[in-house]
Amino acid sequence: MPYWNYVAKHGNPDKEGVYDVILIYDQVEQIKEGYTEDCFKPTGKQFAVRESRWFGSARVNDGWIMKDQPKEGLVWHEESGSYWNERVYAWYPMREYPDVELPEGVEWLTDG
């Protein structure tokens, strides 16, 4: 049975893909109007949430690389709407899809 891999203990995956992850992020408060980094201040509280994130190749000037990740090679990426200073705490090995039984008469959308 697969198990959670902790980034600090097991490192990152060795294969690109979308993974189930446990994210840790900083709670922030808005200190002035706007959406640039200087408009927010961390409160000192952190939260964890289970979501999915893409792990793949970093690109030149890649602004989506998560906190504490290298700037090249395979890295965790944020997505639109990501949390403040989010980072992957743990990741779960990729599963075979589709891994859910669909109702009768429903088909999976394919690329073809």
- Is 38 among the domain residues? yes
**Is 24 domain-assigned?**
yes
d(CA 19, CA 2): 13
Q: How many domains does the chain have?
A: 1
DSSP codes of every residue in 3-71 = --EEHHHH-S-SS-EEEEEEEEEEEEEE-SSSSSGGGEEEEEEEEEEEEEEEEEE--TT-TTBPTT--S
Domain that holds residue 33: 5-92
Residue 11 lies in a domain: yes
Is position 101 within any domain? no
Q: How far apart are CA 70 and CA 86, in angstroms?
A: 15
In the predicted model, is pLDDT for residue 39 greater than 60? Answer: yes
- The reply to whether the predicted model has a pTM over 0.85 is no
What pLDDT digit, counting tens, does each position of 64-89 carry? 999 889 999 999 999 988 888 899 99
Does residue 83 lie in a domain region? yes
Closest-CA residue to 13 (of 96, 90, 85)? 90
